A and B are shown apart, each in its own frame.
Chain A
């Protein structure tokens, strides 16, 4: 049984297609993050799961039960919003029990739930306050509390941390992670922040233009992006994508960048499909953090590139190199001295590379 299943779901706003044939499944207790740039449809998808938005095609199942036409309140879900959406005229207590009161839960049960949750979230001292008298972090906690008291099957989070300042955001991120570890409730979490997605999710679904680009574990998303969009979206700075061709000879596969005749051996690469590789136009993907200034692994590949630009950011530096008129970024500890406008010896960790078809932009 899947806690949540989305089947061939499509959604239009007028003539604009917002979601196209979305398929998703979440197992009990998992933490799914919907990640993507703004306008990719992730919030719409969340609203559809909540029942706040209608569906044009496809179905949503919660515990194998088709809820596509079920009212939000009857879906056994709870949602936390970006603006917290606490009812301004009610105090914390009234905010938290509003849903239970609507559901006609008995007074004793409501009180019991309220005590339990408010202690758990450490908002029990704030019960009589109005939302306007709370700090950002407290409001966030109360909003989570309002979701918790209902003991839902699925928690929906819609960019809950983006209104907080940087420091508080990191704190609340950890609290949400702890919360999930303790409660083990299924979560669907929308964000555009890759760090949030990576650190919270057991699964990440990366979306763009209403299509899921890749739905995988954070490790696979980072190490084996399924297309250039994902490769580019995840990581900071993002993956270098060097344009070039594949070359196949009897015992060796290699990559040759455009404008050069220098061969980078890629024998160790795990191709999805081994045929038709000769002369294929590809993007050679390597992350800045997998380029080193010293040989650190036996398999590291030595290459000479000219350093053009160095950006110091405290604990590390990002250096831009020129590879036959294509930019290649590398990330080094800031203690290393790199001379600009000079050729520098670099070492590519070839076990960490990705190759993409230049036409389809898919991983090969």
Chain B
């Protein structure tokens, strides 16, 4: 009797082992298929950018390039050097950097401040302020184009990088505030009380106590803002033109304005260049991104 029970348990054990193994391999298979599906466009882009126009005409989308040919990348970045009508990304890339760095910095900083005030220095009607800020998240880009254009005109900073910094900072504040408020609300208010008894003031508490424990949410906010601002096309194309344009606008001009043949290799290289900074930010900080999104806050 004892033995019988023993063997049947063994069989069950075996069976569940096989089932588990099968499910595991199936899971991997599905995941691999999905991964391939998502990586496929990137593959096509990279491969195409490395081909010459001749190869593109003769081969298919998937064919491997004959060699590592970075000519189209050089053209995309630095142009062909024949003056008028030669559009290339380099100056606009720096425009975008000049726009995105201050815009991300200011919107993140202001969001942290407002989040701090809304959770730790509650005042009468603060939930209304928060509600209105939240409302800002749901206003479509298009709705603010005209008033913003007028504002920039009055301030005398239309068609400039500074103007775009302002637009993106203002439009980013609702999102960054939301992030920081939700993070700080789980930080015990007793920390602030303790610091007040210790003699720290409004700014000291912010800089010395709260900001040092905000790394996860800062990373989330920076990634979010960076991606939004870097990839923005609408604000860029509306509020700037010519030399002040950010990279996404330049990319568009470049791809659309080529008069003769479509240079797919250059277009692909340009598109990759325009997309690489966000990728870099993700790779560097992605780990914290997930952690920051899912983490509560500090305990104790």
Contacts and interface: CB of A to CB of B under 8 A. Distances in A.
Q: Do A and B come from one complex?
A: yes
B199 A85 contact: no
Given A82-B190, A85-B188, A87-B209, A73 B300 contact: no
Nearest to B191: A85
Interface stretch (A96-104, A179-187, A316-324): A96-104
A88 B197 contact: no
A85 B194 contact: yes
B193 A79 contact: yes
Given A88-B213, A139-B300, A83 B190 contact: yes
B190 A85 contact: yes
B187 to A, nearest CB: 9
A131 B188 CA distance: 14
A337 B177 CA distance: 67
Contacts of B208: 87, 89
Nearest to B194: A85
B67 interface: no
Contact of A77 (B188, B197, B213, B299): B197
A81 B198 contact: no
B44 interface: no
B195 A83 contact: no
Contacts of A131: 300
Contacts of B204: 102
Which of B200, B298, B300 is the most central at the interface, judged by chain A CB atoms within 10 Å of its CB?
A: B300
A72 B197 contact: yes
Contact of A99 (B190, B199, B213): B199
B212 interface: yes
Nearest to A130: B300
B197 A79 contact: yes
Nearest to A82: B190
Contacts of A87: 191, 194-195, 208-209
B291 interface: no
Contacts of A158: 190
Contacts of A98: 195, 198, 200
B197 A52 contact: yes
A89 B200 contact: no
Interface string B169-196: 0000000000000000000101101111
A132 B299 CA distance: 8
Interface in B279-300: 298-300
Contacts of B188: 81, 83, 85
A78 interface: yes
A349 to B, nearest CB: 45
B210 to A, nearest CB: 9
B198 A99 contact: yes
A364 interface: no
Given A83-B300, A84-B300, A139-B300, A99 B197 contact: yes
Contact of B194 (A81, A103, A132): A81
A103 B199 contact: yes
A86 B300 contact: yes
Given A85-B190, A85-B193, A87-B191, A73 B198 contact: yes
A114 interface: no
Contacts of A72: 196-197
Contact of A102 (B191, B198, B212, B213): B198
Given A89-B212, A131-B300, A73 B199 contact: yes
Contact of B196 (A52, A88, A103): A52
Which of B188, B195, B198 is the most central at the interface, judged by chain A CB atoms within 10 Å of its CB?
A: B198
Contact of A79 (B194, B209, B213, B300): B194
A50 interface: yes
Contacts of B209: 87, 89
B209 to A, nearest CB: 5
A87 B212 CA distance: 10
B300 A81 contact: no
Nearest to A79: B197
A102 B300 contact: no
Nearest to A103: B199
Contacts of B300: 83-84, 86, 88, 131-132, 134, 139
A85 B195 CA distance: 9
Contacts of B199: 73, 99, 102-103
B212 A81 contact: no
Contacts of B195: 87, 98
A129 to B, nearest CB: 12
Contacts of A146: 194, 198
Contact of B197 (A73, A83, A89): A73
Nearest to B204: A102
Interface in B114-129: none
Given A83-B188, A102-B199, A88 B298 contact: yes
Given A83-B188, A87-B209, A89-B212, A102 B200 contact: yes
A139 B208 CA distance: 20
Nearest to A81: B190
Interface in B195-245: 195-200, 204, 208-209, 212-213
Interface in B248-265: none
Contacts of A79: 193-194, 197
Nearest to B297: A88
Contacts of A86: 300
Given A50-B193, A87-B208, A88-B300, 12 more contacts: A73-B196, A77-B197, A79-B193, A81-B193, A81-B194, A82-B190, A83-B300, A88-B191, A89-B209, A89-B213, A98-B200, A134-B300
- 9 closest residue pairs by CB, A with B: A89-B212, A102-B199, A99-B198, A73-B199, A85-B190, A85-B194, A81-B190, A88-B298, A72-B197
Interface of B: 188, 190-191, 193-200, 204, 208-209, 212-213, 298-300
27 contacts: A47-B193, A50-B197, A52-B193, A52-B196, A72-B196, A72-B197, A73-B197, A73-B199, A81-B190, A81-B194, A82-B190, A84-B300, A85-B190, A87-B191, A87-B195, A87-B208, A88-B191, A88-B212, A88-B213, A88-B298, A89-B209, A99-B199, A102-B204, A131-B300, A139-B300, A146-B194, A146-B198
